[in-house]
Amino acid sequence: MARWVWWVLILKITELADTVIFIFRKKYNQISFLHVYHHTVTLFLAWITCKYAPGGMWTFIMMPNCVVHVIMYTYYLCACLGPKMQKIVAPWKKYVTRLQLIQFTIMMIHTFQAFLPSCEPTRKPLAYIYMSQVVIVFHMFLDYYRKSYLRKKIE
């Protein structure tokens, strides 16, 4: 499991690197506070996991994240294949965001286990860090979802 966590850390470094690529390409419209915060925090959480808990309970949290990222980057790949493909995949973007919200909910439920009395006390500091960040990112994604998809229906 520790090897898996190290691979996730490397993946998170590459995900943050895409922000640098956006800057070099002057694609500032693709860089939001949500984007930078999310990629920075996930890199930080992956590093903490590698350093202090490279296995067990905390490894599970990374699995839904990796699944969602495979789906999300598949969507982005299809979207960059041209205007025809963009029209085909555009309606799916909101479902990718919903999937991300579901992922954060799963992560919160899973992390909550660390607060149970039967859980090892050594897991609690990590649980506070994970839970606080997942809650923050969940609300940021929820706000993005509301602004991008729900307000359009009202107008």
Active site residues: 38
pLDDT of residue 152: 60
- The overall average pLDDT reported for the chain is 88
- Give 153's pLDDT tier (boundaries 50, 70, 90): low
Mean of pLDDT values over 139-149: 94
Q: How far apart are CA 141 and CA 145, in angstroms?
A: 6
Higher pLDDT, 47 or 119: 47
- Give 93's pLDDT tier (boundaries 50, 70, 90): very high
Helices (H), the chain: 2-24, 33-52, 57-79, 83-89, 93-112, 124-145, 151-154
pLDDT of residue 119: 82
Look up the pTM and report it. Answer: 0.86
**Are the CB atoms for 94 and 148 separated by under 8 Å?**
yes
Half-sphere exposure of 46 (CA within 13 A, CB side): 24
- Give 154's pLDDT tier (boundaries 50, 70, 90): low
State the burial class of residue 42 (Cβ atoms within 10 Å of its Cβ: 0-12, 13-18, 19+). buried
